[in-house]
Structure 1
Amino acid sequence: MQKNIPVAVQMYTLREESEKDFVGTLKKVAELGFDGVEFAGYGGLSAQEVKTLLDDLGLRAAASHVPLEQLENNLSQVIEEMKILNSKYVVCPYLMPDRRSEQDYQALISILNQVGETCQREGITLCYHNHDFELARLSDGRMALEAIFDDTNNDHVKAEFDIYWLTKAGEKPMEWINRYKNRTPLIHLKDMTTDAEQFFAELGTGGVDLDAVLTTGEDAGVEWWVVEQDMSRRTPFESIEISINYLKSKLPNLLNK
């Protein structure tokens, strides 16, 4: 269906498992057939220890979610860790509720431009990951997420669109991916139940149009598919196994893993 776009799992999905056994959790991720991981912290290990562990397991560091405050106040260390991990993408993952006013979004655009420019000079790419709250309208009629990408530098700030949150906000993920074509190196693959609860679902078990997203990956310039499930009614390992098996049925490059 596509070129060999690799698949990672966002480790936030496995946060409780990682807290108990970070090394064992990464080992299980490798056994399930994932190509890499997207980090949300390093389990108390140094970046070098994590890199050694990844190499031993045959995994790659797709990206790291790093809180905005760290990007603002500790960027040099963040960049150094990314280099050690041989990871190209650092992601601003979430805005705290007290940073979501229109004035806050204007400030965020400036921050992202500055951080992104610094990252680019060091060979790292900054991405912004959305939820549904960024789909609220600003006073100029644009959604906050539109303002973030329209008003930041195309080369300095890229997107990590989360197709669950776009869908939950009443948007069509494909329209966003096409609108910002070649600016979406990372895509969060998620599904959503078709009932009124709109709960997080394993890939292929809900109502999100995953086929359309997977089919457009190469044309859109996607470099990593990232599986994430914020919450699960199964164990997280069971959930990501269902999801990776779904992707193995869709992506030929995963069949032999």
Structure 2
Amino acid sequence: MASLAVHLHSLREELGNDFLGTLKRIKDIGFDAVELCDFLEWEDRYRDALPEAALTPSSAHVAMVGRDVGPVFDAAERVGVTTLIEPQIDRELWTNRIGVQNSAARMNEIARIGADRGITVGYHNHWWEAEYRVDGAPSLAVFVDSLDDEVVLEVDPFWLEVGGISAANMLAQFGDRVRLIHVKDGSLTRDERDQVAVGSGNLDFPKILAAAPRAVRVVELDHFAGNVFEALQDSYRYLSASNRA
């Protein structure tokens, strides 16, 4: 059975208003894990509040490319995070082979540093890595072909589909490198305000989830017009039922 988590970016405003209370509401829904956002800024709060809310960090989003990663890994060790995800790399670098391969080389370097400290490093995609092409191939595929085995992936099927790629096919192609999936749903446009609870939008989640059966399902809503806790509850029910099927 695949693990379930919530990406806390979905609740950034709620966390700003009531940090511990928001984490406890996530736990009350049924989630046992969360993916951390604003990791370095909220390090101390995470270190204190996660144990009190009985939540564990599945991973954390934090920019690593272009910075000294030593302090990032130090913070991860203090909080107990063992997987760090690069949220995105400059969009312009995905328009040509040199940019893509240089980005992969930097991820490889960071992953080697992380491995020496027992920390796994991965990358999270948006729509442009899928839509942009290098010699006819999706830039994301070229990027992955240039990665060392130590670099894992957090695939966002929603953005793959927006970028014109079959998420299920890409997940199958990437195989066991995919450790986490960002699970979000909606009308498959770049407008993040169109996102809805998982299972109530246009993605074929039975097919998508079957393509990565062991990957952690990380629920995310970039933006949501209604009650985000209700959307997370609906998403949890849907994914729990999918896990049992």
Is the pair's TM-score, using the shorter chain for normalization, greater than 0.5?
A: yes
Q: 2:230 aligns with which of 234, 238, 247?
A: 238
Structure 1 residues 226-253: Cα deviation after superposition (integer angstroms, max 9, x where no partner): 0001111212222212211212222249
Report the equivalent of 2:12: 15
Q: Distance in 2 between matches of 1:116 and 1:192?
A: 33
Structure 1 residues 126-176: Cα deviation after superposition (integer angstroms, max 9, x where no partner): 1110011012344422211011100111x2211110011011122111111
Structure 2 unaligned blocks of 5 or more: none
Report the equivalent of 2:201: 206
1:218-233 residue pairs with structure 2 within 5 A?
218=213, 221-222=214-215, 224-233=216-225
Does 2:110 match 1:118?
no
Return the offset for 1:188: 0.7
1:176-195 residue pairs with structure 2 within 5 A?
176-193=170-187
Letter in 2 for 1:200: Q
1:1-257 residue pairs with structure 2 within 5 A?
3=1, 5-42=2-39, 44-47=41-44, 49-68=45-64, 71-97=65-91, 99-102=93-96, 103-153=98-148, 155-193=149-187, 199-218=194-213, 221-222=214-215, 224-252=216-244
Q: Distance in 2 between matches of 1:98 and 1:166?
A: 17
Letter in 2 for 1:50: Y
Q: Distance in 2 between matches of 1:214 and 1:72?
A: 33
- Among the aligned pairs, what percent are the same residue? 26
Aligned residue for 2:6, secondary structure, equals strand
Q: 1:20 to 1:196 in 2, by over 3 A?
A: closer
Q: Distance in 2 between matches of 1:138 and 1:171?
A: 11
Letter in 2 for 1:54: L
Q: Distance in 2 between matches of 1:122 and 1:25?
A: 31
Structure 1 unaligned blocks of 5 or more: none
2:129–2:139 contact (8 Å) kept in structure 1: yes
1:109–1:152 contact (8 Å) kept in structure 2: yes
* Alignment RMSD: 2.4
Aligned residues: 243
Letter in 2 for 1:28: R
Letter in 1 for 2:105: S
1:22–1:43 contact (8 Å) kept in structure 2: no
Return the offset for 1:100: 4.2
Normalising by structure 1, we get a TM-score of 0.85
Normalising by structure 2, we get a TM-score of 0.89
